[in-house]
Every structure is written in C-alpha cells, then in structure tokens.
Amino acid sequence: MSTLAQYSQHLARLLPAVGEADFPALLIDMLRQLVSFDDATIAVYPGTDLPVIEYFQVPEDGGASTLDVFVRGAFLLDPFYLAATRDRKFGVFRLRDLSPSSFRDSEYYRSWYRNCGYQDECGFLIPLGPEGFINIALGKTAPRAKFGRRELATFEAVLPIVEALCQQHWAGSKTAQPSVNLRAQLHSALDCFGSSLLTDREAQVIKLVLHGHSTKSLAEKLSISVETVKLHRKHAYAKLEIGSQAELFYLFLDSLMSAGNYDGGDTLVSYMQVPATRP
C-alpha cells in the first residue's frame, strides 16, 4: 500500500475521533506512519494555565519521572515553550532550529533530554486562543539519530490538517482560564531568581545560563567580554553557594517547587532563608 493510501486510512480514523479520548493516540499513529520516530508527547497549554500532558509514550529505558518536574516549572526553559510564548512562533521546528548553539551543553538538556532518551526532537507548535498553544513533541532515541530536512518538509505538508484537528479537539481548553495566571507567576519567579543575593548583571547572566547559553554566546548577547561573563558567573555561584551549572539548575527547580503559594519575589528568600534586600 502506498504512503498516501496509508495516510488516507489513518486520517479517516482520526477525523471521527475529534473530541474523543483516543484522538491523541490516533494522531501520533498517523504522524508515525509519515515519519519514523521513537517517542511522542503532547502537551497542551490552556490559556494561562500550567501545561497538561495529554499523551505520553515512554521508551523502554524510562523517562516518565521527569514529567512532574517539567509540568511544575522546568518547561520555562524549554526552547519550544519559549518559541511559542516569547517569540510567538508556530509551525514545525526541530530542536536545533530554536535552541542556542550551546544548548546541548546545558544542564536542562543533560537532565531532560538524557532522561527522555532523546537524540533529537521535532515539534508541532499550534496556537490555541490568544495565549494557549499545543506542543506535539516527537523524539528520536537511536544513537546519533536526527530529523532531516525531508522529514521536516513532510510534517510541514500535513501541518494545516494537524493544526485544524488539534484546535477543534482542544477547543474547550481555550476557555479553561484559572483564577490566577499561573504561568505568569512562574515567569516572575524565573525573572526574580537570585535577585535577593545577586547584582542585576549577575542575575541576568544566571538566567541566560539556565536557558542554555554558553560563555561565548552570553558575551555576544550582552555585548561584554568572555572574561567579564566568567567573572559575573563566578561571583554569582559563590553567592548562591554552588559550584556548577548542574547545581544552579537544581537550585532553581528546588526553590521554585518549594515556594508553595508563590506571591512574587525571589524564591530563594524562603528557600535559603536570606533577607529580601539587594546587595
């Protein structure tokens, strides 16, 4: 049977499933028929609420344990999330199309992608109302596996039908607004992280380190020298009582998740019991 005929059959099963519980799984089956991948996750960001995992496929070597951390705050550092919220980019993208050049050296990549087993990721970013969106993340786990241009072009060709069906299926999510803008709260926590202990420049450097920027890309982005970046990072690490990017990553996540009913300011104030004053 030809690829087009198989696609047609999958689509015929998918259309009547809109609004039904098996829609996400049938959607992934259809996409897998077009392009080979090993793992898939569908995260829906309804309005200003936290992400909801609508579909998750676990590889045999695990990965499910990272989802709770992702939903509670790690998603703030995800290049696909940043593309949709900060840059309002929608469509089909590979990880390397959206991430900083040094992203694979970041602790977020080591922690999240290593646990997921991903070697490469390709994602559909689909708008859902003025603030919400859907992220269909597809991963390859085989050593050195990559999504090529031809595979990307195939996904782009079916994007219009995937977008229309997903928006119809998750239409109710657009109106599911929480009483509090939870994502804005988390963004505020990230923006304020370390502000009770660090200078403005040190806090800026730390935030960009969390997003996966290297010393070189930090220097270029901030228009300062590499040595100045190193100095700011050294001073920030000393004040935060950490010695590596890994410790910084987990300090941010731990302080964020221990904040409880966050109402603004630096999460380190209560986490490290430091006075809420600037140096």
**CATH code, 207:** 3.40.50.2300
Identity of the residue numbered 234: K
207 falls within a domain: yes
Exposed, middle or buried, 260 (CB in 10 Å: 0-12/13-18/19+)?
exposed
Last residue of a domain, one of 145, 160, 175: 175
CA torsion 147→50→236→259, rounded to 10°? -150
Q: Which domain holds residue 94?
A: 3-175
Q: What are the structure tokens assigned to 65, written together?
A: 């344990």
Percent of the chain with pLDDT over 90: 52
45 falls within a domain: yes
> Is residue 128 located within the same domain as residue 225?
no
> Is residue 113 located within the same domain as residue 216?
no
Strands 120-128 and 132-140: antiparallel
pLDDT in tens, 186-232: 888 888 999 999 999 999 999 999 888 888 888 998 999 999 999 99
> Is residue 129 located within the same domain as residue 39?
yes
Q: What are the structure tokens assigned to 80, written together?
A: 């696909």
Last residue of a domain, one of 140, 175, 210: 175
Last residue of a domain, one of 114, 146, 175: 175
> Is residue 166 located within the same domain as residue 216?
no
Q: Helices 3-14 and 23-34 sit at what angle, rounded to 10 degrees?
A: 170
Segment 113-120 shows an average pLDDT of: 80
150 falls within a domain: yes
> Is residue 140 located within the same domain as residue 204?
no
Summary mean pLDDT of the chain: 87
20-29, 82-91, 175-184: the lowest-pLDDT one:
175-184
Answer whether residue 171 shows pLDDT above 80.
Answer: yes
Confidence of residue 161 (pLDDT cuts 50, 70, 90): very high
β-pair partners for 138: 40, 122
Domain count, the chain: 2
Contact 138, 152 (CB under 8 A): no
Q: What is the pLDDT of residue 58?
A: 60
276 falls within a domain: no
**Residue from 68, 45, 31 nearest 183 by CA:** 45
Q: What's the CATH code of the domain at 166?
A: 3.30.450.80
> Is residue 79 located within the same domain as residue 8?
yes
279 falls within a domain: no
CA torsion 272→213→149→31, rounded to 10°? 10
278 falls within a domain: no
SS (H, E, C) 99-144: CCCCHHHCHHHHHHHHHHCCCEEEEEEEEECCCEEEEEEEEECCCC
> Is residue 106 located within the same domain as residue 212?
no
Contact 219, 258 (CB under 8 A): no
Distances from the Cα of 152 to the Cα of 110, 123, 155, angstroms: 24, 10, 5
Confidence of residue 72 (pLDDT cuts 50, 70, 90): confident
> Is residue 133 located within the same domain as residue 154?
yes
275 falls within a domain: no
Percent of the chain with pLDDT over 70: 90
Q: What are the structure tokens assigned to 98, written together?
A: 């959206």
> Is residue 148 located within the same domain as residue 93?
yes
Confidence of residue 154 (pLDDT cuts 50, 70, 90): very high
153 falls within a domain: yes
> Is residue 83 located within the same domain as residue 205?
no
pLDDT in tens, 17-59: 999 999 999 999 999 999 999 999 999 998 878 899 999 976 5
> Is residue 136 located within the same domain as residue 16?
yes
CA torsion 95→100→102→106, rounded to 10°? -80
> Is residue 14 located within the same domain as residue 127?
yes
**Residue from 227, 223, 245, 232 nearest 204 by CA:** 232
Between residues 16 and 66, the one the model is more confident about: 16
